[in-house]
Structure 1
Amino acid sequence: MVVVKSVSRHADVASATSELHMESGQIIRYVAPMTLDCAEMNEHQQVVMLAQEKRLLFGDVSEEAEKWAGVSDLCQAMDHIVEIEKETELFKGKRILEVGFCTGLPSVYALEHGAVEATLVCTDNDALNNYIKPTIRKNNVGKLVNYITCDIEQLREKFETNKFDIILAPELVNTKPEYFEQMHDMLKLALAHNGMIFFSGRTHYNSCDGSMSAMLDLMKSKKCFDIMERSTFNNSVRNETAPRKVVQLMHKMC
Structure 2
Amino acid sequence: MVLTIPTIASVAPINCELNHHDDWEGVNTICHTIDNIVNVEMETDFFDGKSVLEIGFVTGLPSVYAFEAGADKIAMHTIDKTSLELYCKPTLKRNNIPLNKTKLSCGTMEELRKFLGGKKYDIILAPDLLNRTEAEFDTVHEIIHEGLSYDGICLFSCRTHYPNVDGSLTVFLQLVKRRREFEAIERWSSPRTDIIQQKVFQLTRSLF
Q: Structure 1 length as normaliser, TM-score?
A: 0.73
**How many residues are treated as equivalent by the alignment?**
200
The answer to whether the 8 Å contact 2:49/2:71 transfers is: yes
Pairing partner for 2:132 from 170, 175, 186: 175
Kindly tell me: are residues 30 and 142 of structure 1, through their superposed partners in 2, closer, same or farther at Cα, counting changes over 3 Å? farther
User: Per the alignment, in what secondary structure is the counterpart of residue 158 of structure 2?
Assistant: strand
The answer to whether the 8 Å contact 1:174/1:208 transfers is: yes
Q: Distance in 2 between matches of 1:153 and 1:246?
A: 25
Query: What is the aligned partner in structure 2 of residue 19 from structure 1?
Result: none
Q: Distance in 1 between matches of 2:112 and 2:82?
A: 20
Between the two proteins, what is the percent identity of the paired residues? 35
CA-to-partner distance for each residue in 1:131-168, whole Å, 9 max, x for gaps? 21011111111332110225433432443521100000
Kindly tell me: are residues 234 and 173 of structure 1, through their superposed partners in 2, closer, same or farther at Cα, counting changes over 3 Å? closer
Q: Distance in 2 between matches of 1:166 and 1:63?
A: 31
Q: Give 5+ residue unaligned stretches, structure 1.
A: 1-25, 36-61
Q: Give 5+ residue unaligned stretches, structure 2.
A: 11-17
The answer to whether the 8 Å contact 1:169/1:198 transfers is: yes
Query: What is the aligned partner in structure 2 of residue 52 from structure 1?
Result: none
CA-to-partner distance for each residue in 1:11-48, whole Å, 9 max, x for gaps? xxxxxxxxxxxxxxx3321323258xxxxxxxxxxxxx
Query: What is the aligned partner in structure 1 of residue 179 from structure 2?
Result: 222
Query: What is the aligned partner in structure 1 of residue 39 from structure 2?
Result: 83
Query: What is the aligned partner in structure 1 of residue 5 from structure 2?
Result: 30
Query: What is the aligned partner in structure 2 of residue 212 from structure 1?
Result: 169
**How far does residue 89 in structure 1 lie from its aligned partner after superposition?**
1.2
Query: What is the aligned partner in structure 1 of residue 152 from structure 2?
Result: 195
User: Per the alignment, in what secondary structure is the counterpart of residue 164 of structure 2?
Assistant: coil
**How far does residue 123 in structure 1 lie from its aligned partner after superposition?**
3.2
Kindly tell me: are residues 160 and 101 of structure 1, through their superposed partners in 2, closer, same or farther at Cα, counting changes over 3 Å? same
**How far does residue 252 in structure 1 lie from its aligned partner after superposition?**
1.2
- Give the counterpart letter for 1:184 in structure 2: H
Q: Distance in 2 between matches of 1:152 and 1:201?
A: 18
Confirm or deny that 1:104 pairs with 2:60.
yes
**How far does residue 230 in structure 1 lie from its aligned partner after superposition?**
0.7
- Give the counterpart letter for 1:28 in structure 2: L
User: Per the alignment, in what secondary structure is the counterpart of residue 57 of structure 2?
Assistant: coil
Q: Structure 2 length as normaliser, TM-score?
A: 0.89
Query: What is the aligned partner in structure 2 of residue 247 from structure 1?
Result: 201
Q: Distance in 1 between matches of 2:130 and 2:19?
A: 13
Query: What is the aligned partner in structure 2 of residue 120 from structure 1?
Result: 76
Q: Distance in 1 between matches of 2:86 and 2:98?
A: 15
The answer to whether the 8 Å contact 1:75/1:105 transfers is: yes
CA-to-partner distance for each residue in 1:210-245, whole Å, 9 max, x for gaps? 2212111111111100111111x5515xx4121111
Report which of the two structures shows the higher radius of gyration computed on alpha carbons. 1
